[in-house]
Amino acid sequence: MSVDSLDQSSEAATPEGGALNKTQKLAALLVMLGPESAAVMLKRFEPREVEAIAREMTRSTLISREQQEEILQEFSEVALAASTGVSAGLDFAKNTLEKALGSFKASDVLGRVVTTRASSGAMQAIAEMDPRHIRT
């Protein structure tokens, strides 16, 4: 992914205003994922790309429920098309829970859910993939 592929237009369609360009959609997705996941993903972009994404993050004040659903649907389709598989499983869950809750609470949660392992959801697939694949 090159910097040139980012939508650099000065016409800012705000999330409240309707159709979003690719950079605005990516910015909205990162907002929806939260600061921790967004930070991990932003580290993989070039500085100029980070600036464009951050610019769109600051312009947005509200992402409607409908826009959230549309963005998640679009990025889910891209994620599935770009990925052969997403690493999940017990190790991923353990590492994530330990970071979120600490070792003791993570072990407690895993002890309760390890027999009822849930499949990986669309948000997890998006959060785990290379951000440059999402932009295609």
Lowest-confidence region among 39-48, 58-67, 81-90: 81-90
Mean per-residue pLDDT, 86-108:
83
pLDDT in tens, 58-77: 987 888 999 999 999 998 88
- Report how many domains make up the chain: 1
Torsion angle of C-alpha atoms 49, 52, 74, 83, degrees rounded to 10: 10
Alpha helix (H) ranges present in 1-136?
22-33, 35-42, 47-59, 65-82, 90-101, 103-113, 122-128, 131-134
> What is the pTM assigned to this prediction?
0.53
pLDDT tens across 17-33, in order? 458 899 999 999 999 99
Q: How far is CA 77 from CA 32, 36, 53, 74, in A?
A: 17, 23, 21, 5
Query: Residues for the chain: how many in total?
Result: 136
Q: Which domain does 110 fall in, by range?
A: 3-134
